[in-house]
Amino acid sequence: MAADPEQKIAFREMTIGDLDSVIEVEKRAYTFPWSKGIFTDCIRAGYDCRLLCYRGEIAGHAVMSTGAGEAHLLNICIRRELQGQGFGRLFVHHVLARARFLEADTIYLEVRPSNKKALQLYESIGFIEVGIRKDYYPDTNGREDALVLALNLTD
């Protein structure tokens, strides 16, 4: 089943009041989830914090910083039981539209090399690898590098 507007999908700004639900989605999707404090700091700092809602419930969240013509996608997450159904692709395209709206020319993100599905998604959208951050992510066996990906938004 692919995500589409017929399925009651909406995007909106994340608020402090949403954080308990956001944390539940985050904890179920990631072994090393962000804390409520990190999300709170991002909202208070004015980052572009967005929600994907499906059938009236939070189905995903994204946090993006912007400045000096660049955007950085810091976190994007889809509810575990909705993964692999097109929601991630739809949400990434929403985030890209937001980055353009906020006048970014390029968007960057980090992804675990072991997260093959996310990496394939980003590459299929046009992201290219521009670097590696050594020991960036916590891992059950210590640390994992991050691939740094970028997408030109002016093409």
| Mean pLDDT to the nearest integer, 76-83 | 95
The residue from 47, 108, 122, 144 that is catalytic is 122
Establish whether 123 is a catalytic residue: no
For residue 40, the SS3 value is helix
Length of the chain: 155
Burial tier of 135 (Cβ tally within 10 Å: 0-12, 13-18, 19+): exposed
The structural domains of the chain, with segments of one domain joined by +, span 5-152
The CATH H-level (homologous superfamily) assignment of domain 5-152 is Gcn5-related N-acetyltransferase (GNAT) (3.40.630.30)
Q: Is 122 a catalytic residue?
A: yes
Tens-place pLDDT, residues 17-69: 999 999 999 999 998 999 999 999 999 999 999 999 999 999 999 999 999 99
